[in-house]
Structures are given as structure tokens and as C-alpha cells.
Structure 1
Amino acid sequence: MHIRMDWRAVKFDWNKARAFLVTAEEGSLSAAARALGMAQPTLGRQVDGLEQELGIVLFERVGRGLTLTPSGMELLEHVREMGKAAGRVSLTAMGQSQALEGTISISASETYAAVLLPPIVAKLRIEEPGIHVEIVVANHASDLLRREADIAIRNFRPTEPDLIAKKIGMADAVLYAAPNYVARLGHPQTPYDLRHADFVNMDRSGMMLKALNGLGLGLTEANFPLLTENYIVMWELVKQGAAIGILDAQIGDADPDVVRVLPDLEPLKFPIWLVAHRELTTSRRIRRVYDFLIEELKRT
């Protein structure tokens, strides 16, 4: 099926096109709304508005998700190219800005956004009051090429050639539990002592189970009766004595409500990278914040 229309007669709205693009890539309105940080009804109205303006049906409902119609599939390729072009225009404009005043968006996971970033941002605001900071909380990797954020704190090195990254260092991930839960386990001394312990699972892929078993714990899926992809929820479950959780040692050791489980167990190690788009480094504002974050993150 080929879409034929007079594009000169179409009143084009990029916001609606972006809503369609993200919905198509995420597979549902709810997921797209979370990715864009907007209300689902608002997103739905934008998609509906695009369908009405173009006079075509873009999606069909399949269960709780959405699938593209043939017209939607054809339009998607055009809108995806428009998105890339819009991103390049925005990046170029930002890269050529030499003003320090303005807004910077920083993407980080829930724990880093809630614990590590606030004191750093507070210090930045004192030194650079003209810079406004937007903190994008996302456990997934924000798409810097689409300007979901200007700078991102990640636990992996990016592979995209248009991104630059600075490795801040390595962090330790350690097992924690509430003191009363450790007591109920009989104060375990060896990995074998955790064979009947409960853990809070943070992913559906089994990576956490595999990683912990790599440390010699010998766990099974039965050891993970709790699941959440939200780090703040996981930590509250741990502090309430529901199960064992794993977290960056710098954050966990600072919380008086928990203790390390098997303190002598080798920690899981993961890198911390600071990432930005290559063109953004030509902006004084982006460069100032990028360098500031490097300095402060290394210090902490």
C-alpha cells in the first residue's frame, strides 16, 4: 500500500509525528508516554490528531499493545528520518551556542538521580546560577542522539560513533539487608548460608541470578520471590526486611538502616561512564557541566 497525498496541503505538527514515532517504537501508548515524560491521554490525542490530519489509520490494537497498519509502517520510515534530521538540527544549534546560561538535561538511574546528583547539582547551581538543570530519571539508556538528554551517567560504554564518553571509574555492587532480616537468616557467614534467602530481583532476563551465581551463591529462581525494576522500591523492600538487595556500595554503606550481607564476599564491579553527544562538546554550557560532573563524580 502506498500513501498518496498532497503534502503541501497537510498542516504538519512535529509533536504529533514524534508521538507517533515513539509509540511505534515502544509498542504501546503507556510505554511511549513514559519515554516522553507526558500523560498517556495527551499522547493518545496527539496520535489520534495525526491520523485525522492525514486521513489514515496508523495503528491497530493487539491485546494491550499496538501494531502498525501498512500505512503506519510506510509513514514510520519517513518520520524516523525526520526525527534524525530534527535531532541533527538541534544538536548543531546547541553545539554552536557559546552562552553559559540555559538549560542542561542530565540522565541518570533512580538511585544516582536521588542520591549522587542532588549535592552535585546544588554545588553547580552556586557556581553557575545561570544554568538550569533538568534531571531525567531513567533506568534505561536515554537516547542522546534524539536529545532525550544532553548528558548521561551510564554503567556501560556507548558504541555509537557520535557519542563521546569518559570513564569515571569502577563501582562496587554489594549485597545488603535489614539487620532483622540478617538475624532471621542466622547471620550467614558463607554463600551456602544464603541458599534459602530471598532476594529482590531487578530484571526479568535472569542477568542478576547469573551474576550472583558467578560469585558462588548457587541460587535458583525460587530465591527471587520479589520483582521490581524500580531501584527506590527495591531499596525500601530491603530496608523493611523483606529480602536481600544489591546496590552501589557508596550508596548502601551510607544508609544506617541496612548492613552488608557476607561482607567478605567479592563485590560485583561495574563501570561508571559520563556520556554526551560529540557536537555538544562545542557548547560552552555543555562542556562546563560535563567537566564539572567528571570532577565531582570522581571526587564522590
Structure 2
Amino acid sequence: MNARSRWIDLDGAVNVRDLGGLPTTDGGTTRLGRVLRSDNLQDLTTADIRILVDDYELRDVIDLRSDAEVRLEGPGPLTRTPSVTVHNLSLFAEGGRHTDVAADTEAQSDEVDIDKVLPWQTRPDTAPAHDRSISHYLGYLDDRPDSIVAALRVMTRPAGSALVHCAAGKDRTGVVCAFALEVAGVTREAIVADYAQTGERIDAILARLRASTTYAEDLDSRPADSHVPHAYIMEKFLARVDEKFGGSQEWLSAHGWADEDTNALRARLLD
């Protein structure tokens, strides 16, 4: 890992970084090697797995993909690693074998709603681009508060590290990581910067997604520069959470998050 950038270079994933080293409002920093974030883990090599398990003591994977994505893409090689537990915590309102937006018919059971999975900013719509992304992010809160709370609780486990991922490692992963960092007391500026940092790897992320039939057709219809995660998206999303719910901590508390959860997460993430 580059200590300055926090990137973790792997062969089978391109948007992997450590949430350690981020400044907190009280002058501290988050701990390295406790929570990692990533794009899809389908292509991890044996060497990649060795790095994650041996160097980062990876013990828990938080998979935010929908049921349909897991079926279409496969569960990934870490499910075959005995020391790692994979937690499937979709941020969509799953309905049996269907995604949140697919009709309840057998023929559509493996459809993936790309607007939800990859809410890129340039799909034609009457609303401004950033408003559409924020709406999708708020939709994660409406659809699956249980998954978000469960994901943060996995991060509090005392042994090893946890890794959270989705398809691109940008949107669903970005929302969950932002909430975790808010609980830890990381500065808003640093949370936004971490979200935007995915833009440094956007070309490589898109190349990986285009290699998958699950995502390729939709991505091929739009230019690469339209997919950049702009800082103002996360800034405005968190501002909306503040306005609508009183902040991320208050939203979590309304969905079963307790003081002991906060203490446990801070103990794990903070120096």
C-alpha cells in the first residue's frame, strides 16, 4: 500500500484502498488495516488473496451487491477461503429471487437495474445529474437500513480487517463508508475526498465492468468522463442526510444503532 494515497495494488481489483490515515475532527486519525473498500472481487488472484488475508488479516467481506448480481457474477473466490466470512448485504429491496425493480416473473429474475447499481450522472432525465445520484443514495437508506446497520456492525468485529465492496466500489460502497467514517468522527472534508478518490481509477474500473456482460451494454452507451464521482455529490448527499434526518448518527440510531455500536466502531477505527 502507498502510505500517502492508501491505495492497495492488486491484480484482480482496481479500486481498493484502506480507510486508515484519515483525519478526525479532534485531531486524530483512523487506523490503517481495519476497514478496506473495493470494487468487485470476482477476479482476485491467488496472490491478491494472500495479500488481503496475510498482510491485512482480512476476516470479513461486506458484499453490497444485489442477489441478481451475485448470481450473474458469482460469489467470488474469497467465499472459498475458510478464514474469511462473506456477508451478503444488498442495499436494494430484494423480493425473493428478484431485484428491487424487476417484475416478479421468472423471466426477469436475473435482471439487474443498472440505474440502481451504477447511478452514473449522465443518464437523460429531467432532474439535474447530481440530484439523481443523491436520490439513488437516499434510496439505499430507504430500501435497506438493515443492511447498512449490519454492514457497520461487521466493521466492529475485533479480529482482523473488514472489506466492503459493490460493483464499482463507488456508490453503495461510498455511502456505507461515509456513514462509518461519520460515526468515527472523520472530518466531512476527508469523507468527501475519500469518495472522490475513486475518480483516480475510473478508467480501470470501467474497463473491468465492461468486461462483464452484466454491466457492459449500459456502460458502452456513455463516455468514461461521465462516470467520475464528483466531490459535490457526496457533499450534497451528506447535507441532505443532515437536513432530513439530523445527521448520519441520528439516522442510524433511528434504525437500531446503539451507543455501544458507536463505541465499538470508534474503538476499531480510531488510534
TM range (shorter): under 0.3
- Relative to its length, the structure with more strand (as a share) is 1
With the length of structure 2 as denominator, give the TM-score of the two structures: 0.24
Q: Larger Cα Rg: Structure 1 or Structure 2?
A: 1
Question: TM-score w.r.t. structure 1 length?
Answer: 0.22
